[in-house]
Amino acid sequence: MIIGLILTFGFIMLINQRLQYDITTTKDHFQSIFSVSPGAVLLTSIDNGKIIDINATFTQITGFTKEETIGKTTAELGLWKNVAERENIVNDIINFGRCNNREISFTRKSGEEFIGLVSASVISLNDRPHIISITQDVTERYLAEEKIKASEEKYRTLAETTPNIIVMHDLNGVIIFINKAGLDLIQLPESEIIGKSIKQFVSDDLIAEMTDRQQIRQSGSTKTLEYKTALKAGGGKILKFRVISAPVIKNGKMESLLLVANDITEQEQTMIELTRAKRSCRGDE
């Protein structure tokens, strides 16, 4: 019995040592991840919102040192441009256990605003719930996207207000954009144009010419082309255009074609009538 008790006690001691080793190892792993994370890591108490710990990246991004943050709340530091956003994140964490990739506006210690991509979840430390969050500084990416949006909006406004017809189609001839001037002139709804092949609208006697131009593009030519064509419009009308065609290059690769066209139907008709009149005059002589 004594030997059995000794063995049992020894077994329990081994288990306790193993558990203590596992706990220490897990803690070390957690601390390593916490320290080397490329994002700003923040550990706060879920009860009062006070900061328990931060990593070095947090200081690099926000400008606040560990001494300035421990024991304070993020609201007291003035990190949130809109404090209500913190409440929304905390509510999501309480209700769902986490929040993922939330774009939030923050303020650095210097007063400069930056955009952070925040993910956070609940963890238990010493049997008490805490929130651990990781914030990536995505300000440069955000500003680049905003610049692109502004540029796109600028050119879209230009495309919609110009009297010229602007059409964009892919390398297979499928129309992906037509501006308001084009819709007004062709007198067809956008739903009957977008997604359709431009060949459906080209006058039958000019299909061969269009096929030749497509082959030029498919061979890789990025030259700007200028030509005349005729398109079928609503009501069975045939309209004539002078077209400038230029490739749209993205990441060094031609992905679509931009057509800017002027309606020359009346000019062409006037030329035909003048030619007929000259021929008639010569016949009279």
State the pLDDT at residue 93: 81
State the pLDDT at residue 31: 56
Fold agreement between 34-139 and 153-272: yes
State the pLDDT at residue 112: 93
Over its length of 285 residues, how does the chain's per-residue pLDDT go in tens digits?
Answer: 444 333 333 433 443 444 444 434 445 445 555 555 678 888 888 888 899 888 888 999 999 999 999 999 998 999 998 888 888 888 888 788 888 888 899 999 999 999 999 888 888 777 788 888 888 898 888 887 777 777 667 667 777 777 888 999 998 889 999 988 889 888 889 999 999 999 888 888 888 888 888 888 888 888 899 999 988 888 888 889 899 999 888 878 888 999 999 888 888 778 777 777 777 666 554
Q: What is the pTM of this model?
A: 0.51
- CA proximity to 59, closest of 132, 130, 135: 135
State the pLDDT at residue 280: 67
Do residues 28 and 53 make contact, with C-beta atoms less than 8 angstroms apart? no
Phi, then psi, of 254 in degrees rounded to 5: -75, 120
Topology at the third CATH level for domain 34-139? Beta-Lactamase (3.30.450)
**Domain-wise residue ranges, the chain:** 34-139, 153-272
State the pLDDT at residue 265: 86
Q: For domain 153-272, which CATH number applies: 3.90.1280.10, 3.30.360.10, 3.30.70.940, 3.30.450.20?
A: 3.30.450.20
Please give the Cα distance from 283 to 285 (Å, whole number): 5
State the pLDDT at residue 16: 45
